[in-house]
Amino acid sequence: MLIYLDCDTGIDDALAIAYLLAHPDVTLAGIGTVNGNTTAPQAAANTLGLLALAGRDDIPVAVGSGEHPYAVSVHGGNGIGEVALPVGKDPDPRTAEALLLDLARRHPGELHVIATGPCGNLAAALRAEPRLPELVAGVTVMGGAVRVPGNRTPHAEANIIHDPAAAATVLSAPWPVTLVPLDVTMQHRWTVADGEALRAAGTPLHRALAEMVPVYFSGYEQVLGVREIPLHDPLAAAITVGEVTPDEAPLLSIGVEADGRTVEEGPGDVRTVLSLTAPAGPVMLARILTL
Ligand code: RIB
Ligand code: CA
């Protein structure tokens, strides 16, 4: 499966990148970054550092768009828990939007797009190439809170509220789109022991991930009251790849309001994953440990 990942590398974005690198059926063709957990340039530096640790300098990383970062408390000042990664190669000279368009045109009908940050780059690509939906195999968006409370406001989820107009553009475009909202991602978590299993794996990449997650645990402990982390972004990746199976996933019309709410408006075309058939945390940890 050929994949373009658009992300705001962030700690759970880093876990999604590790998951995709570990999966034998995935070809990670390119990564674009967007402002969200940190700035797009910082997210690119974080991503390039992870790829350097994984020995994957072959994967292009392009810097994208966005306004100002906002989630410093949960992901730390540099987006990855203040962990210092090696300096990777330079970012690709293209913008994230241009990288996505180049990959889609080069592989018509094959490219799966996963967005684990705000949707600004995908919306920009749609504006630049209205035929983009005909060129991609499908889109998965981690974001939204449909039948559950939000995590940035009582009603809005972080990726969506950062750029509601972009999210509305992406969710209403004529491509096969799967939404992976907090409804399902908050249900699938890691414990501290899972984080420590990363450290025990012993490779530089696993150790770096293990160094990142305590900040994420602390951020969510304030929300959940327990030291557990929801696996938002790696879950979007695992659903796309097909390693975990949606249970309740109705086709809905999802409206995006100016305050970032994602509103269920009846039957529609957005496959909205509300639950899975089995716990995904152990599956994703096992996969990442194979890296
Ligand atoms: O609400 C969770 C989402 O916002 C995740 O993608 C996390 O990385 C942040 O971007
Ligand atoms: Ca993210």
Over residues 223-272, the pLDDT tens digits come to 899 999 999 999 999 999 999 999 999 999 999 999 999 999 999 999 99
Pocket of ligand 1 (CB under 6 A): 8, 10, 12-13, 36-37, 71, 116-117, 142, 151, 157-159, 232-233
Joined together, the tokens standing for residue 233 give: 């972004």
Nearest to 80 by CA among 114, 36, 119: 36
- Of ligand 1's atoms, which has the minimum distance to the CA of residue 182? 1
259 close to 155: Cβ distance less than 8 angstroms: yes
Q: How much is the pLDDT for 251? A: 98
Would you place residue 67 in the very low, low, confident or very high pLDDT band (cuts 50, 70, 90)?
A: low
Q: Can you give the pTM of this predicted structure?
A: 0.97
Q: What percent of the chain has pLDDT over 90?
A: 92
Count of residues in the chain: 291
Distance (angstroms) between ligand 1 centre and the Cα of 231 equals 9
User: What are the structure tokens assigned to 43, written together?
Assistant: 């997210």
Ligand 1, atom nearest to 71 Cα: 9
Q: How confident is the model at residue 202 (pLDDT cuts 50, 70, 90)?
A: confident
Q: CA-CA distance, 204 to 210, in Å (whole number)?
A: 10
pLDDT for the residue numbered 77: 80
Distance between CA atoms of 288 and 47, rounded to whole angstroms?
A: 16
Distance 181 CA to ligand 2 centre (A): 12
Q: Cα(159) to centroid of ligand 1, in Å? A: 6
How many CB atoms within 10 Å of residue 87?
10
The per-residue pLDDT for 72 is 64
Domain residues for the domain of 241 are 2-289
CA 232 to ligand 1 centroid distance, Å: 6
Mean pLDDT (the chain) is 95
- Total domains in the fold of the chain: 1
Closest atom of ligand 1 relative to the 159 alpha carbon: 4
Q: Could you tell me the distance, in angstroms and rounded to a whole number, from the CA of residue 272 to the centre of ligand 1? A: 17
Q: What is the mean pLDDT of residues 189-196?
A: 96
Q: Which atom of ligand 1 is nearest to the CA of 157?
A: 1
Q: Residue 74 has what pLDDT? A: 76
CB atoms within 5 A of ion ligand 2 belong to 8, 10, 13, 116-117, 233
Please give the biggest Cα pair distance in the chain: 48
Q: Could you tell me the two tokens for 160?
A: 């969506």
| 49 contact partners, CB below 8 Å, separation of at least 6 | 85, 86, 87, 88, 208
Q: Which ligand is nearest to the CA of 220?
A: 1
What pLDDT was estimated at residue 65? 72
Mean pLDDT of 43-53: 97
**Among all ligands shown, which has an atom nearest to the Cα of 230?**
1
Q: Is 71's pLDDT higher than 80?
A: no
CATH number of the domain at 218, please: 3.90.245.10
**Stretch 57-66: mean pLDDT:** 91
Asked whether the beta carbons of 158 and 36 are under 8 A apart, the reply is yes
Please check the confidence at residue 129 and state whether its pLDDT lies above 70. yes
Residue 37 pLDDT > 70: yes
Name the residue of 159, 160, 185, 220 to mutate for ligand 1: max ligand atoms within 8 A of Cβ: 159
Q: What are the residue numbers of the active site?
A: 232
Which of these ranges, 58-72, 78-92, 256-270, has the smallest mean pLDDT?
58-72
